[in-house]
């Protein structure tokens, strides 16, 4: 009897251990399955097509891998990410697990420049911008040769890509407290110009650029179209040309520099002056009584004003004042365009009246 009881206990203990082992095994299998699904499972909705035969396959753990459908083989190890297909080249950027950037061919999926740069931009027209040696910017070719070195730039703000042979790089100038745009050429592998602003026009590939000399009209190759800079320049929308301002005179020029309109104004305002005061009452204070000037008016060029004969349109003064208003019928006040907000007195003929 004791022997039978001992056998039962031993058998029960063995069965219990076996059941626990089976449960542990099932639990480990389920945990392993979930682990494999998370770290090895695919996330098809994040896949990306690079070319007809090359795709970027995504995984649930956030990693990606490049796959060539024609050879049915993976061409890279697992990576953090791969950029899209460049518009003007065949090499795109990838980021490895150590956050270094390199380049691979979107048509084959093969890595052509191993990961070695802190930051990189896609190739365009045979060149790509990379950051090296603690955030220095340079441009490399397909052979990973540094062909433009040590370019001043603002890290992480712009896509440094070439289009039609040129790339614009921006920096912030602390001295002038404004942006400076440097233009580099893929043909000369050097800087072709530096401007405080560059605005592309709607027609002809022209640009209006500003530097310390003034405003320039540039063609699509960044050549200066006009022989001289102007104090101000703006696009003449819906017309073939630009408006330029020189010595407070605004003109309309075509893209060859021919003067189409020798004198252009942006608007005009009627002038008025105080002739008296209304009678005061117990409820209201006195109000000024105005009379409109009949012979003079203020015309505007950009944001400056000058005097003009209201009947003949004859210019009395150039538009070199910040604002003009009448103090009396015979005396006007004109704001000077300076940082001191000073003003000067004018007579009806536009003569400046200097105080003694």
DSSP characters over 299-344: EEETTEEEEEETTT--BSS-S-EEEEEESSSS-EEEEESSTT--EE
Fold for domain 43-158?
A: Lipocalin (2.40.128)
- Per-residue pLDDT, 238: 84
Distances (CA, A) of 314 to 141, 170, 268, 302, 311: 61, 45, 13, 19, 8
Question: Distance between CA 272 and CA 38 in Å, rounded?
Answer: 79
Give the position of tokens 């000073």: 342
CA distance 28 to 84: 39
pLDDT given for residue 13 in this prediction: 61
| Confidence band for 37, pLDDT divided at 50, 70 and 90 | very low
352 against 17, higher pLDDT: 352
Average confidence (pLDDT) over 94-116: 97
- Whole-number Cα distances in Å, 190 to 117, 231, 270: 22, 28, 53
Going by C-alpha positions, the residue among 264, 328, 331 that lies closest to residue 299 is: 264
Classify 351 as helix, strand or coil: coil
pTM: 0.73
Q: What is the pLDDT of residue 5?
A: 60
Report the chain's mean pLDDT, rounded to a whole number. 88
Second CATH level (architecture) for the domain 201-264: Beta Barrel (2.40)
pLDDT tens track for 304-324: 999 999 999 999 999 999 999
Give tens-digit pLDDT for 283-298. Answer: 667 788 889 999 999 9
Task: Phi first, then psi: give them for residue 177, nearest 5 degrees.
Answer: 55, 45
As a CATH number, domain 267-353 is 2.40.10
pLDDT for 332: 94
pLDDT digits (tens, 9 = 90+) for 130-164: 999 878 899 999 999 999 999 988 765 578 899 99
Q: Where are the domains of the chain?
A: 43-158, 201-264, 267-353
Tokens encoding 20: 């626990």
Fold agreement (43-158, 201-264): no
Q: Which pLDDT score, from 0 to 100, does residue 129 have?
A: 95
């Amino acid at each position: 009897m004791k022997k039978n009881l001992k056998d039962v206990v031993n058998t029960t203990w063995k069965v219990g251990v076996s059941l626990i082992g089976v449960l542990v095994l099932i639990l480990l299998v389920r945990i392993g399955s979930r682990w494999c699904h998370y770290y090895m499972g695919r996330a098809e909705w994040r896949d990306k097509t690079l070319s007809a035969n090359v795709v970027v396959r995504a995984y649930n753990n956030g990693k990606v891998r490049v796959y060539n459908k024609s050879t049915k083989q993976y061409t890279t190890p697992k990576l953090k990410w791969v950029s899209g297909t460049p518009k003007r080249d065949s090499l795109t950027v990838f980021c490895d697990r150590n956050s270094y950037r390199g380049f691979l061919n979107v048509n084959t999926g093969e890595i052509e420049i191993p990961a070695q740069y802190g930051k990189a931009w896609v190739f365009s027209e045979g060149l790509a911008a990379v950051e090296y040696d603690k955030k220095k910017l340079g441009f490399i070719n397909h052979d990973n040769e540094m062909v433009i070195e040590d370019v001043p730039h603002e890290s992480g703000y712009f896509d440094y890509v070439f289009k039609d042979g040129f790339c614009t790089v921006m920096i912030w100038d602390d001295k002038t407290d404004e942006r400076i745009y440097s233009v580099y050429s893929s043909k000369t592998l050097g800087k072709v110009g530096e401007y405080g602003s560059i605005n592309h026009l709607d027609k002809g590939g022209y640009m209006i650029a500003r530097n310390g000399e003034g405003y320039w009209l540039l063609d699509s190759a960044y050549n200066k179209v006009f022989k001289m800079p102007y104090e101000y320049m703006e696009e003449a929308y819906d017309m073939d040309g630009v408006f330029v301002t020189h010595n407070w005179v605004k003109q309309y020029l075509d893209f060859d520099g021919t003067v189409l309109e020798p004198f252009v104004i942006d608007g005009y305002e009627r002038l008025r002056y105080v002739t008296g005061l209304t009678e005061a009452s117990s409820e209201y204070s006195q109000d000024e009584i105005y009379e409109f000037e009949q012979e003079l008016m203020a015309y505007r060029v950009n944001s400056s004003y000058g005097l003009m004969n209201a009947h003949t349109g004859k210019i009395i003064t150039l538009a070199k004042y910040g604002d003009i208003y009448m103090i009396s019928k015979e005396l006007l006040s004109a704001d000077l365009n300076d940082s001191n907000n000073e003003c000067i007195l004018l007579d009806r003929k536009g003569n400046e009246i200097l105080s003694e």
